[in-house]
């Protein structure tokens, strides 16, 4: 009954709040991993018929479009999208108070389809209404606005406006409010206000806290301080008026600031990190809370390239409805997997020919590295000793290396790294080819994770909370060569699903920069002694690694497994 798809079911019981959601490349409503995870979670909920509704902001002018100039410097342009083509305006209007003004909000409904007739509604909140003042109309234009006051206003719109919009649409049976990171944590302020209003209370008391707590789930996504939103009391007062009771409650307070992570922690009955190690690191950071771990996953229907998907359709009936079935990839003949990979690689090389003007060979080992360009991810670790890299490539076999990724507009160091990689690409010997592709988005990600031979990841442990692009690669039979951090601590079986770089970093403290040299040496050693010999001398054994990547890792590191864990541990 397709008409049911477009009605919002008022019996929906789970509300998933995220500041960014990756829906499609043409919709620039996301910045990176957090948004991709949100989109994959919602798509999985649609597949599995989990009664979910999702809430985000419209981001009419998107994140940004990246161009790289002749010097390799990143420039940003707005990424406008045509809202009416993709989403339908809903009737209700809700109001939030911001800086002493009433700001009206509307919602656009974007229907996120699942594999089997069902879909999950996503509400995109929009302040661009004629009733609002110009400075308020732009609050839902772009992701992560620059000033603290604007950021706080965006979080009020998401958290407070989001709950009010659910109520205005008749959703009064929500049993779980899931905060995807602290940006959504102000939803607890609205739930507290609702409780106090209903019970005629002036103060937040223990009963109010336990009533709200019983409904809330909080997922923390990064151990990096900058990822945790903090505001001063003055910033809070400048934006939110009705804050006195909340401030007095101390529930948002940490170290003299208002801390959205602590708001989430204090008012959630279930809290988790996004991989086993990240759960441990978070438990250390927030020692007085109980922190569980649910390892991230990716949506296989979205991230499996068309050639491999055709193989799965033929050999693993029903995989789109149940990703656990991907374990049966163990029975697919390796030459079938090999052929699908060659087709995906040819498609990638054709894209490189058209967009970067390079003619690369399908016979040469091709390494992919694409993710947000930022210092802790160490994108240039592979290029830290060019003499060593050249000696490996000239003696063990040529290398093609493809990079992509945006730096956050304010991350000068990240932009410098992109520039450095581009400048290096112009000085390399014949046996090493390198390109940096602009405008990393979902389509380019799918092309890369399916078309390269090896997926490289070199974060500084333990700062990669999970990482998901390596999971996308695994689904496509592309093994990872990665530092043991995030999901790879769980996914790496040496020589079977890929290869580890460096020693396992067991402490919760950040691995010091002085160890970069040791990690680079380990990366070069693995390339020289394991990856290149296997690729060039034992192609059948390399295909075996591809098959294991799918059967062992694709079948587990996906959002069907992940969402089922959320349902059992956090939603039920
Ligand atoms: C998957 C994905 C990411 C996140 O990749 P990580 O490995 O988690 O850093 C970021 N951007 C895009 C476009 C993606 O598809």
pLDDT tens digits along 236-279 = 887 876 667 788 888 998 999 999 999 999 999 999 999 999 99
- The verdict on the CB of residue 297 being under 6 Å from ligand 1 is no
* Alpha carbons 359 and 432: distance in angstroms, whole number: 13
Q: Is the pLDDT of residue 174 over 60?
A: yes
DSSP string, 413-430: HHHHHHHHHHHHHTS--T
CA of 370 to the centre of ligand 1 (A): 7
Model confidence pLDDT, tens digit, residues 460-493: 999 999 999 999 999 999 999 999 999 999 999 9
Burial 456-474 (b: 16+ CB within 10 A, else e): bbbbbbbbbbbbbbbbbbb
* Alpha carbons 102 and 104: distance in angstroms, whole number: 6
Model confidence pLDDT, tens digit, residues 322-375: 999 999 999 999 999 999 999 999 999 999 999 999 999 999 999 999 999 999
Q: Could you say which of 3.40.50.2000, 3.10.50.40, 3.40.50.970, 3.30.565.10 is the CATH number of the domain covering 14-60+75-296?
A: 3.40.50.2000
What are the residues facing 261 on neighbouring strands? none
What are the residues facing 254 on neighbouring strands? 257
Residue entry with tokens 């597949």: 47
Of the candidates 477, 481, 480, the residue with the CA atom closest to the CA atom of residue 548: 477
Of the candidates 297, 122, 293, the residue with the CA atom closest to the CA atom of residue 220: 293
**178 band by pLDDT with thresholds 50, 70 and 90:** very high
Sheet containing 498-501: order of strands: 432-437, 399-404, 365-370, 454-457, 480-483, 498-501
Nearest 5°: the CA angle 198, 201, 207 is: 85
CA of 371 to the centre of ligand 1 (A): 5
Atom of ligand 1 nearest to the CA of 371: 9
DSSP annotation of 333 reads -
Atom of ligand 1 nearest to the CA of 298: 1
**Ligand 1, pocket-test mutation among 468, 470, 474, 486, most atoms within 8 A of CB:** 468
* Alpha carbons 384 and 421: distance in angstroms, whole number: 10
Query: Model-level pTM?
Result: 0.97
DSSP annotation of 298 reads B
Model confidence pLDDT, tens digit, residues 157-170: 999 999 999 999 99
Res 242: pLDDT: 64
* Alpha carbons 28 and 439: distance in angstroms, whole number: 11
* Alpha carbons 273 and 282: distance in angstroms, whole number: 7
Atom of ligand 1 nearest to the CA of 467: 8
**4 band by pLDDT with thresholds 50, 70 and 90:** very low
CA of 243 to the centre of ligand 1 (A): 36
Contact 159, 177 (CB under 8 A): no
DSSP annotation of 570 reads I
- The verdict on the CB of residue 128 being under 6 Å from ligand 1 is no
What are the residues facing 97 on neighbouring strands? 102
Q: What does the block give as tokens for 188?
A: 């607890």
φ, ψ at 351 (rounded to 5°): -60, -40
**508 band by pLDDT with thresholds 50, 70 and 90:** confident
Q: Is the pLDDT of residue 565 over 80?
A: yes
The whole-number average pLDDT for the span 288-317 is 98
CA of 253 to the centre of ligand 1 (A): 32
Q: State the sign of the Cα–Cα–Cα–Cα dihedral 17, 19, 22, 23.
A: positive
Minimum CA distance residue for ligand 1 atom 3: 33
Q: What does the block give as tokens for 308?
A: 């491999």
Q: What does the block give as tokens for 390?
A: 């050249």
Q: Is the pLDDT of residue 3 over 60?
A: no
Q: Which residue has the higher pLDDT, 517 or 5?
A: 517
Burial 134-165 (b: 16+ CB within 10 A, else e): eebbbbbbbbbbeebbbbbbbbbbbbbbbbbb
* Alpha carbons 92 and 28: distance in angstroms, whole number: 25
Cβ within 8 Å of residue 287, ≥6 positions away: none
The whole-number average pLDDT for the span 72-79 is 96
**Ligand 1, pocket-test mutation among 278, 297, 303, 370, most atoms within 8 A of CB:** 370
Quick count: other Cβ atoms within 10 Å of Cβ 410? 9
Minimum CA distance residue for ligand 1 atom 11: 32
Atom of ligand 1 nearest to the CA of 446: 15
**506 band by pLDDT with thresholds 50, 70 and 90:** confident
Cβ within 8 Å of residue 84, ≥6 positions away: none
Q: Is the pLDDT of residue 305 over 70?
A: yes
The whole-number average pLDDT for the span 440-460 is 98
* Alpha carbons 33 and 520: distance in angstroms, whole number: 25
- The verdict on the CB of residue 436 being under 6 Å from ligand 1 is no
Q: Write a three-state SS string for 225-270.
A: HHHCCEECHHHHHHHCCCCHHHHHHCCCEECCEEEHHHHHHHCCCE
Grouping H, G, I as helix, E, B as strand and the rest as coil, residue 19 is: coil
Q: Is the pLDDT of residue 2 over 60?
A: no
Contact 160, 166 (CB under 8 A): no
Mean pLDDT of the chain: 95
- The verdict on the CB of residue 445 being under 6 Å from ligand 1 is yes
* Alpha carbons 185 and 162: distance in angstroms, whole number: 11
Which CATH number describes the domain made up of 302-556? 3.40.50.2000
Cα within 13 Å of Cα(150), Cβ side: 14
DSSP annotation of 407 reads P
- The verdict on the CB of residue 469 being under 6 Å from ligand 1 is yes
The whole-number average pLDDT for the span 198-202 is 94
Contact 271, 293 (CB under 8 A): no
φ, ψ at 124 (rounded to 5°): -110, 115
- The verdict on the CB of residue 554 being under 6 Å from ligand 1 is no
Domain boundaries, the chain: 14-60+75-296, 302-556
Whole-angstrom CA distances from 182 to 166, 219, 545 are 19, 8, 38
Q: Is the pLDDT of residue 557 over 60?
A: yes
φ, ψ at 39 (rounded to 5°): -60, -45
* Alpha carbons 57 and 41: distance in angstroms, whole number: 17
Contact 551, 328 (CB under 8 A): yes
């Amino acid at each position: 009954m397709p008409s049911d798809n477009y009605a919002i079911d008022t019996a929906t019981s789970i509300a998933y709040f995220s500041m960014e959601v990756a829906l499609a490349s043409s919709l620039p409503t996301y910045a990176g991993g957090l948004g991709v995870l949100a989109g994959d979670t919602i798509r999985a909920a649609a597949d599995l018929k989990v009664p979910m509704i999702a809430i985000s902001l419209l981001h009419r002018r998107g994140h940004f479009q990246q161009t790289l100039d002749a010097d390799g410097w990143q420039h940003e342009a707005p990424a406008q999208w045509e809202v009416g083509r993709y989403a339908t305006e809903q009737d209700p209007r809700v109001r939030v108070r911001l800086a002493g003004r009433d700001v009206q909000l509307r919602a656009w409904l974007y229907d996120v389809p699942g594999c089997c007739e069902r879909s999950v509604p996503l509400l995109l909140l929009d302040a661009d209404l004629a009733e609002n003042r110009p400075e308020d109309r732009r609050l839902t234009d772009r992701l992560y606005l620059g000033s603290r006051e604007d950021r706080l206003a965006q979080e009020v719109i998401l958290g407070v406006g989001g709950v009010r919009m659910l109520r205005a649409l008749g959703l009064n049976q929500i049993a779980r409010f899931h905060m995807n990171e602290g940006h959504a944590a102000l939803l607890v302020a609205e739930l507290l206000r609702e409780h106090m209003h209903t019970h005629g209370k002036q103060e937040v008391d223990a009963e109010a806290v336990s009533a709200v707590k019983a409904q809330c789930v909080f997922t923390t996504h990064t151990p990096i301080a900058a990822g945790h939103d903090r505001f001063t009391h003055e910033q809070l007062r400048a934006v939110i008026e009705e804050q006195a009771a909340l401030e007095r409650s101390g529930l948002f307070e940490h170290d003299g600031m208002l801390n959205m992570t602590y708001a989430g922690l204090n008012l959630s009955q279930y809290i988790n990190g996004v991989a086993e190690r990240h759960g441990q690191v978070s438990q250390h950071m927030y020692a007085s809370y109980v922190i569980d771990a649910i390892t991230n996953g990716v949506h296989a229907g979205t991230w499996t390239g068309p050639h491999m998907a055709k193989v799965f359709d033929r050999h693993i009936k029903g995989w789109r409805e149940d990703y656990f079935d991907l374990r049966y990839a163990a029975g697919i003949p390796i030459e079938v997997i090999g052929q699908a990979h060659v087709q995906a690689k040819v498609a990638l090389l054709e894209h490189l020919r058209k967009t970067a003007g390079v003619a690369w060979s399908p016979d040469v080992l091709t390494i992919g590295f694409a993710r947000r360009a930022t210092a802790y991810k160490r994108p240039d670790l592979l290029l830290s000793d060019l003499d060593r890299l050249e000696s490996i490539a000239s003696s063990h076999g040529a290398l093609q290396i493809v990079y992509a990724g945006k730096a956050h507009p304010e991350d000068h160091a990240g932009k410098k790294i992109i520039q450095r990689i581009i400048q290096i690409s112009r000085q390399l010997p014949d046996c090493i080819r390198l390109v940096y592709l602009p405008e990393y988005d979902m389509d380019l990600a799918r092309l890369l994770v399916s078309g390269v031979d090896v997926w490289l990841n070199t974060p500084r442990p333990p700062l990669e909370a999970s990482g998901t692009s390596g999971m996308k690669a695994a689904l496509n039979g592309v093994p990872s060569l990665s530092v043991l951090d995030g999901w790879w601590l769980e996914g790496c079986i040496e020589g079977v699903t890929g290869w580890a770089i460096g020693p396992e970093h067991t402490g919760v403290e950040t691995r010091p920069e002085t160890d970069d040299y040791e990690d680079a040496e380990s990366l070069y050693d693995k390339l020289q002694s394991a990856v290149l010999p296997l690729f060039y001398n034992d192609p059948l054994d390399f295909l075996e690694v591809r098959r294991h990547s799918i059967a062992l890792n694709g079948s587990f590191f996906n959002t069907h497994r992940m969402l089922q864990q959320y349902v059992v541990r956090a939603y039920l």
